[in-house]
């Protein structure tokens, strides 16, 4: 992943991330530097990608195998802007950033059933206007290939009765029912991304629009859109041509890609034809590093403009998640902490043919959570720079979304670390430690038995795949292994590259050969799309494409749906409290980043939603 963030980013999953962009500053303060308003000509800022976590997708209309912060915010969004950006060049905002978006604020009418979107008339780098047809192109593609793009039943495009271009720069949506304007803007419109007509092709060298997706319909089964999708997906897979393919040179964002390789080395230069409010002046270069430790070495030697400092190399966190002493001050760096609007967790595979029946028992999930020492992980690994995840809603930065159950037990939620209670709970449901391994001794579905699908003699032997190269994840999993072991649950850690794990996150059926994983720990989920309001449709709704563990609960579905039509905080609290009590995933700590930022780099702010705005940066040296 990009080491401007402290952890792993996946917009899913379609949003799994472990920390946010850290703002640049000349000292260990929370305010960005404003000492320079212009950049040295040819200035270059260098950031890091850890091996195996660099961007590997450039076509934005892709499924979960491409859904990550690294592919989205750190890569595609620099070149092609989504309909709406969020947070802006800010340290704290989690709101829509209309100024940096190619569309104005949507206009709702008819009680929330009609939505009018007015595009601003920005330009693509080939001179064409970012107009209504570009958005229709995306919407038609969504109709044709919805199952391949973060789809959840009842969400876009299912919830639209119709849509059409009602002006050169205007698109109108007619919805099947009234929705909360906050939810629909933050979690539905936020998934849309106008695409250039030059991409509406089904063969190399095809004339813009010749693919016919923009004018396609359901009458032919969206055949033209499917052909365009297949062609563009093939182009996307050819990573060797990312910097040379004419298709990818057409951008409306602040940057253009000039060099790329799959190892994580690539360079962006300013797009002089960018229509947004701030044109870029600093070239952004990503370089491959083998681990977070290597990144820190790059900081200490001055090779990086921004780099994360592992918590193990910092003194204990003090106020505002900063250490008392800046360990890289003499190397010319300031420090800044960064909240990330997300949650830490390991996806739990409810469809695993062997251990899935165990995970489907609420008592078993409760025991696992009570064996998870989140506070201990923060003390031993996070050194005070992380905090417990109590529910499926971010506890930090503080917001209106924090519910009552999330506040229980000092912010640990309803199931704080308590091995004795966990052991007693397991014993009361027919489990006993035999030969050092927790074993089901009382099969059946009674109140004192193991539960449906769990055979007598079944053993609690679990695996957890985590991201190799991220030392904090490895250390947290080791602590988790020890905690589980107190109850006789054996946990086998398995380190794999982020890209490998990302390819395993699609929901699976028990009969599939790839459905053998137990836990997937990629860091967590950042609520930066799909879903900026932290409702649960991307993660916990039955059948959702990003519901990696195949969690399914009718009550959860109902509570999620209620947040879509009501803006009431009490409605949201009911949903949030249910995620805390039902444990659709194994909650793990969520870390706050501590980033070192070169004193030569100015005007970069952290963004809790992991949006990335290097067009606002200035640099007072050629090598920032």
**Per-residue pLDDT tens digits for 562-571:** 999 998 999 9
- Where helices occur in 417-539 by DSSP H, the ranges are 419-427, 471-485, 498-502
pLDDT confidence tier of residue 30, bands split at 50, 70 and 90:
very low
Identify which of 151, 69, 265 has the alpha carbon closest to the alpha carbon of residue 543: 151
Residue 244, C-beta contacts closer than 8 angstroms, at least 6 positions apart:
none
Q: Does 528 score more than 60 pLDDT?
A: yes
- What integer pLDDT is reported at residue 154 of this predicted model? 85
Return the DSSP state at 462.
E
Please tell me the CATH superfamily of domain 103-229, with its number. Dipeptide-binding Protein; Domain 1 (3.90.76.10)
Question: How would you write 424-455 as a 3-class SS string?
Answer: HHHHCCCEEEECCEEEECCCECCCCCCECCCC
Mean of the per-residue pLDDT values for the chain? 91
- What integer pLDDT is reported at residue 5 of this predicted model? 41
- What integer pLDDT is reported at residue 36 of this predicted model? 55
Domain boundaries, the chain: 11-84+252-339+592-619, 103-229, 342-415+460-590
pLDDT in tens, 40-96: 999 999 999 988 888 999 999 988 778 788 999 999 999 999 999 999 988 788 889
What's the CA gap between 134 and 124, in Å, rounded?
Answer: 11
Identify which of 604, 553, 605, 559 has the alpha carbon closest to the alpha carbon of residue 582: 553
Q: Does 28 score more than 70 pLDDT?
A: no
pLDDT in tens, 431-447: 999 999 999 999 999 99
What's the CA gap between 71 and 83, in Å, rounded?
Answer: 17
What's the CA gap between 261 and 239, in Å, rounded?
Answer: 7
What's the CA gap between 407 and 260, in Å, rounded?
Answer: 45
Return the DSSP state at 421.
H
- Cβ density class 358-389: b for 16+ within 10 Å, e for less: bbbbebbbbbbbbbbbbbbbbeebbbbbbbbb
What's the CA gap between 106 and 173, in Å, rounded?
Answer: 10
Four-point Cα dihedral 424, 426, 427, 428, nearest 10: 90
Q: Does 424 score more than 90 pLDDT?
A: yes
- What integer pLDDT is reported at residue 530 of this predicted model? 66
pLDDT confidence tier of residue 101, bands split at 50, 70 and 90:
very high
3.40.50.620, 3.20.10.10, 3.40.190.10, 3.30.950.10: which CATH number matches 11-84+252-339+592-619?
3.40.190.10
Identify the helix (H) or strand (E) that includes residue 376: helix 374-377
What's the CA gap between 179 and 106, in Å, rounded?
Answer: 13
Question: Could you confirm whether domain 342-415+460-590 is CATH 3.30.420.40?
Answer: no
- What integer pLDDT is reported at residue 22 of this predicted model? 26
pLDDT in tens, 533-554: 999 988 999 988 789 999 999 9
Residue with tokens 């290939």: 145
DSSP count for the chain of H helices, then E strands: 15, 25
């Amino acid at each position: 992943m990009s080491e401007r963030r402290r952890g792993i980013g996946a917009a899913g999953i379609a949003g799994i991330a472990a920390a946010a962009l850290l703002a640049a500053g000349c000292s260990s303060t929370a305010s960005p530097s404003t000492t320079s308003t212009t950049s040295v000509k040819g200035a270059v800022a260098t950031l890091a990608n850890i091996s195996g976590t660099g961007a590997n997708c450039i076509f934005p209309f892709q499924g979960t195998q491409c859904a990550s912060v690294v592919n989205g915010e750190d890569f595609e969004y620099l070149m092609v802007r989504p309909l709406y950006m969020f947070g802006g060049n800010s340290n704290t905002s989690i709101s829509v950033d209309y100024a940096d978006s190619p569309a104005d604020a949507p206009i709702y009418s008819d009680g929330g059933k009609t939505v009018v979107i007015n595009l601003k008339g920005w330009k693509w780098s080939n001179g064409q206007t970012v107009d209504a047809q570009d958005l229709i192109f995306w919407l038609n593609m969504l109709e044709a290939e919805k199952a391949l793009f973060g789809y959840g039943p009842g969400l876009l495009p299912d919830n639209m009765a119709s849509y059409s271009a009602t002006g050169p720069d205007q698109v109108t949506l007619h919805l099947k029912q009234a929705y909360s304007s906050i939810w629909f803007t933050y979690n539905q419109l936020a998934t849309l991304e106008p695409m250039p007509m030059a991409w509406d092709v089904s063969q190399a060298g095809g004339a813009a629009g010749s693919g016919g997706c923009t004018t396609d319909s359901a009458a032919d089964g969206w055949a033209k859109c499917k052909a365009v999708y297949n062609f563009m997906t093939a182009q996307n897979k050819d990573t060797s041509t990312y910097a040379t393919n004419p298709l990818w040179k057409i951008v409306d964002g602040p940057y253009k890609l000039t060099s790329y390789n799959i190892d994580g080395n690539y360079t962006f230069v300013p797009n002089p034809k960018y229509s947004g409010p701030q044109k870029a002046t600093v070239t952004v270069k990503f370089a491959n590093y083998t681990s977070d430790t290597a990144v820190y070495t790059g900081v200490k030697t001055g090779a990086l403009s921004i780099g994360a400092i592992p918590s193990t190399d910092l003194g204990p966190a003090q106020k505002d998640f900063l250490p008392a002493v800046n360990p890289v001050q003499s190397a010319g760096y300031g420090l800044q902490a960064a909240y990330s609007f997300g949650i830490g967790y390991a996806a739990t595979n409810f469809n695993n043919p062997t251990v899935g029946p165990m995970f489907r028992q609420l008592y078993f999930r409760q025991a696992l959570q009570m064996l998870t020492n989140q506070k201990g992980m923060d003390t031993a690994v996070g050194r005070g720079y992380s905090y417990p995840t109590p529910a499926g809603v971010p506890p930090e930065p503080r917001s209106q979304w924090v519910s009552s159950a999330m506040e229980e037990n000092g912010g640990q939620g309803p199931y704080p670390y308590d091995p004795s209670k966990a052991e007693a709970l397991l014993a009361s449901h027919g489990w006993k430690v035999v030969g050092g391994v927790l074993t089901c001794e009382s099969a059946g579905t009674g109140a004192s038995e193991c539960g449906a699908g769990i055979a007598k003699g079944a053993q609690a032997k679990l695996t957890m795949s985590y991201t190799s190269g991220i030392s904090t994840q490895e250390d947290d999993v080791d602590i988790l292994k020890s905690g589980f072991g107190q109850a006789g649950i054996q946990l086998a850690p398995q380190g794999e590259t982020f890209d490998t794990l990302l390819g395993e996150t699609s929901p699976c059926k028990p009969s599939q050969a790839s459905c053998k994983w137990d836990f997937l720990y990629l860091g967590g989920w950042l609520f930066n799309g799909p879903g900026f309001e932290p409702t649960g449709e991307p993660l916990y709704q039955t059948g959702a494409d990003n519901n990696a563990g195949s969690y399914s609960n009718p009550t959860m579905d109902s509570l999620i749906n209620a947040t879509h039509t009501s803006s009431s905080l009490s409605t949201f609290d009911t949903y949030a409290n249910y995620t805390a009590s039902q444990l659709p995933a194994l909650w793990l700590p969520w870390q706050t980043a501590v980033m070192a930022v070169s004193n030569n780099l100015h005007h970069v702010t952290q963004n809790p939603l992991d949006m990335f705005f290097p067009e606002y940066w200035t640099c007072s040296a050629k090598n920032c």
